[in-house]
Structures are given as C-alpha cells and as structure tokens.
Amino acid sequence: MSDTGLPARRSAIYLLDQIIGEGKLLPELIGAGALDRLEPADRARAQRLATETLRGMERADRILQKHLQKYPPLTVRNALRVGTVELCAGEAAHGVVNSMVNIVSRHKRYGHLKGLTNAVLRKVADKGPEQWPTLRVPRLPKWLRGPLVDAWGGEAVLVMEAAHFAGAPLDLSCKADADAVAAATGGEVLPTGSVRLADAGQVSALPGYTAGDWWVQDAAAAMPARVLNAQKGEAVLDLCAAPGGKTLQLAATGADVTAVDVSEGRMERVKQNLIRTKLEATTLVSDAFEVMGQYDAILLDAPCSATGTIRRHPDLPFAKDGSEFGGLIELQARMIDHAVTLLKPGGRMVFCTCSLLPDEGEVQAEEAFERHPSLTVDRAALNQPGIDPAWITEEGGLRLRPDHWADKGGMDGFYVICLRKVG
C-alpha cells in the first residue's frame, strides 16, 4: 500500500461518486476495472473505505452538517464523508486531513474548496470520534424502509438495520466435512451446516481454498439448494446460476447438473469455481427462456431487488430507488411459468429470491399456485437442520431475514419455497 494512502482514498471517493451520483453498483464498478490500476493493498483499502462510508453515511452526514452552512458538490462531500468515517474510526488526523485536502486541491473544478475541506475535517477530528457512537444506527432510505416496516414491523427492521451496519461475517459452504473445515479455518459450524468466520482475512490464503474444500456463500444463500435436496443421478437445472455457489452445492450431491446464466463473464466465474472444487456440471450461457428439456429438479434463483443482501452490499440503497421493482416482479413470474414447463411430472422446483420484499417472495408463490393448478407446496422439503419453525410462512415457504441469528452475525434475507408438479 502507498505511504500516503492517497490512491486508495481517491479511488474510494470515485466509487462513492459513481454509486451515489450515477446509480452504479460496487460489484459492477470493480468488475469494470475501477480499481485495477491500484496495488493489491490499495485496492482492498479503497473498497473497504467505500463500504464503511456507505454503512456509516447517515452518521457521517449528521456530524458534517454541524460544520457546513450548505452541502458542497458531491465529490467534495464524499471526500468529507470518507474523512469523517476514518477519523471517527481512530485514524490519525494528520494523515486523513492532509490526504483529503490534497485530493480536493487537485480537482479541476473544486480545487478552491480545499480550505473548506481542511477546516471542516479539523473540526471533525476534534469532536467527531466522541459523537460517532452516540448517534443512532443508520437507517434505510424511506423508499425501502417503508415497505419493510409494513411487511415485518418496526422493531424487526431496527434489528435488520443493526445487522446491515455491522456488516457480514464470512460464511463457507463445504464440499464434505464442515467440522474439519471449521477446525482448519478457526470458524464455527452454524446450525444449518455452513461454517462462519468472524475475521477471515484474505480468503484465498485460508486453509482448504486451493484444495477446493469449500466456497464462499452466505448461510442463507445455501438454504435453497439444501431444500431442493438434489439426489445422485437426477437431472437438475440451476437457472440464473452465477456466481455459482448453488451450482457447487448441487454438483456435490452427484446430480447431473446443468447451470445456466445469461452472462458469459459471470459463467466463467462458475467454471473456475467448478475447477477449483473439482466438481462437475454442464455450464450453458443462455437466456433462461431459451432453455428446453425436462428435469427432475429445478433451482430458480430469480433476478430480484437483492434487498436481502444489504449487510454485504451497502451500496444498494444508494444506487437504487425501487423504480425497477415492478419489472423484476413481472420477470420472476414469467420465469416461474417457463420453469414449470421444464419440470417433469412429479418433479420439484425451488423458487428463491434474495429479497426482503413479500412481492418477490410470499406473494409471488401464492400467485404461482393460482396460475398453475398442477403445482403444490412441498412443506416436508423444509425439514432441514437448523431451520427455525418460526421462519416457515403460512403458504409453506421459508422466510430468512438479517435479524435472524442476530447474536451470531445475522444472515442474508431470502425467500425459499419448494414446489411440486403433480401428475
């Protein structure tokens, strides 16, 4: 990492500009090469600074507003935000303030605001670290918080927001013995069988990575494949397969797995993970609606709002505004309808979304039953280790939320239901 930290801080500000100002998501920015010119340590630091600033944005803004008569342009405001988060986390004031003044002074349009940057951050350095822990846990934006409160209640949403603010530990799905992986990595075996690491460090340096003994996958994201319970020799279709965690789970059962995703780049990642874990599956780059054939079991992890993943992706509430939800809900229904045509009589399908919105879960399932009289819910499929009966919904689905396992670090939000095709 560079001595001054300038490259990492400058890149963190750029990421925030793109997320907040242009509505771009952090993974797509990184995938497009936004950090490629940085040294590995600076790249990791830039991503960490951007992520921590997004999580603490409300607190940073509350501290800054005491020292600003009006908000400066977005880039300068983001520099102040990053600086505030660093200062309140205990970074040395001299280095933080000088870096941010340097970055702002070099800006072609806003260089004249270097004095403001210096004055504000020096005031933050004086009082900010004391004020930070006294402020409330940052809340979700109103466009998302309102629907979630309507669905789950205010108290549950407060616990979800605490989970978002805390961030996510690292969960691993294991090819074989979870106890052995936990012992090797210093992790804890969760009730559902995943291994959780509180402080993982560099993932590729962990024991068992090169050998392919495990892959990174949130404990909630591992549940759909467990519920599908693929069997050796079954023809199994994994629709919308990338990044591939569920594909690996299905392949580990010995099933004949076909993984489909529309993105060639994302499917390449699935292929690389199959190679690393020494598992086999057929990979197909295709639009899901072009897939034909008949399958014993289908896992449909449909495109969705991803509102269940905010504890790992704090950029989402700032890059999105909910305007695309209607189109996603319509797409999910169409994908269910197509998947039903690919399912053998007597076969089963798990529909899931990493969403906290009932319209993308419970409601979607209920409407699927109305459109397809041949479908019935397989409640017995939820008889899996670690599933709390309180998580099972009225229609027979599984509702997972970030406030579940609050004492263990939470989990992603997911909706999962197993459907059977009768006759």
Domain that holds residue 358: 218-421
In this structure, is residue 405 part of a structural domain?
A: yes
Per-residue pLDDT tens listing for the chain (423 residues): 445 689 999 999 999 999 999 999 999 999 899 999 999 999 999 999 999 999 999 999 999 999 999 999 999 999 999 999 999 999 999 999 999 999 999 999 999 999 999 999 999 999 999 999 999 999 999 999 999 999 999 999 999 999 999 999 999 999 989 999 999 999 999 999 999 998 888 899 999 999 999 999 999 999 999 999 999 999 999 999 999 999 999 999 999 999 999 999 999 999 999 999 999 999 999 999 999 999 999 999 999 999 999 999 999 999 999 999 999 999 999 999 999 999 999 999 999 999 999 999 999 999 999 999 999 999 999 999 999 999 999 999 999 999 999 999 999 999 999 999 997
| Count of structural domains within the chain | 2
- CATH classification at residue 87: 1.10.940.10
The answer on 407 and 269 residing in a single domain is yes
In a domain, 406, yes or no: yes
For residue 84, what are the contacts with CB-CB under 8 A and spacing of at least 6?
A: 60, 63, 64, 121, 124, 128
Q: Are residues 385 and 293 in the same domain?
A: yes
Residues 19, 82 contacting (CB under 8 angstroms)? no
* Residue 224 shares a structural domain with residue 115: no
pTM here?
Answer: 0.94
Residue 307 forms part of a structural domain: yes
Q: Is residue 314 part of a domain?
A: yes
Which run of H or E residues covers position 166?
Answer: helix 154-166
Assess whether 237 and 93 both reside in one domain. no
Provide the CATH number for the domain around residue 402. 3.40.50.150
Using the 3D structure, point to which of 88, 106, 134 is the last residue of a domain: 134
67: in domain: yes
278 & 408 share domain: yes
Residues 250 and 374 in one domain: yes
| 364 in any annotated domain | yes
Sign, CA torsion 284/287/293/296? positive
Domain end position, chosen among 117, 134, 151: 134
